[in-house]
Amino acid sequence: MDKQTRILIVDDHPLVRESLTALIQQHADLAVCGEASSQSEALEVIESSRPDLVIADISLGRGSGLDLIKDIRNRHPDLRILVLSMHDEDVYAERAVRAGAHGYVMKRESTRKVIDAIRQVMNGELFLSQEILSSLAKKFVSGRPPTGALTVDELSDRELEVFRLLGQGYETREIAQVLEVSIKTVQTYCARIKEKLRIRNGTELLREAVQWSESALR
């Protein structure tokens, strides 16, 4: 039997981890070697289980999926990374690839596509939808974002995480706990977001964040 691909699943929802494990274990060439629910836990499990591939969500109970990707790339540059997320690929796919991921799959996709993505990434290829590949091609050719790109493109990865959590109803203290930073740091990010998106006050920031969060999940 050929060597199995050892996979670590990082997601803060136990049901997602269980479902993904059941799917992967149906294939003889794939094996789940560990699970994690947070950024820090994932880094610990990587050290102990030595996976070939990490499948991670963008949003985690503690920490950031984008930060996790960057940490993995710094500590384990040969480790393959596939993002499996409910968050809109139009917003996060390019950011994930820039952070060091090798593929991005929406959770609404078929199980067949998830398995195809795993194998394609393990073959050294980049796995993205045709729509995202076309969008990236247009951006690189023109040197600017395609027409209709969201204004959140101006936000840094961490600013976008704060904006997303605000839109999901998190308070400043809760955001600080999730991202493992100080409340003052979160307030600084909020100030930068307001400046970049030309938002006048906290009330407007919250309204815009909620509206954006709802549209990003459609």
pLDDT at 123: 95
Read off the pLDDT of residues 131-160 as tens digits, 9 standing for 90 and up.
887 777 666 666 555 444 447 888 999 999
pLDDT of residue 143: 57
Q: Can you give the pLDDT at residue 148?
A: 43
| pLDDT above 90 (res 168) | no
What pTM did the predictor assign? 0.77
Closest C-alpha to 150, from 65, 69, 66, 215: 215
Task: Quote the mean pLDDT of the chain.
Answer: 88
CA angle 66, 70, 75 (to 5 degrees): 145
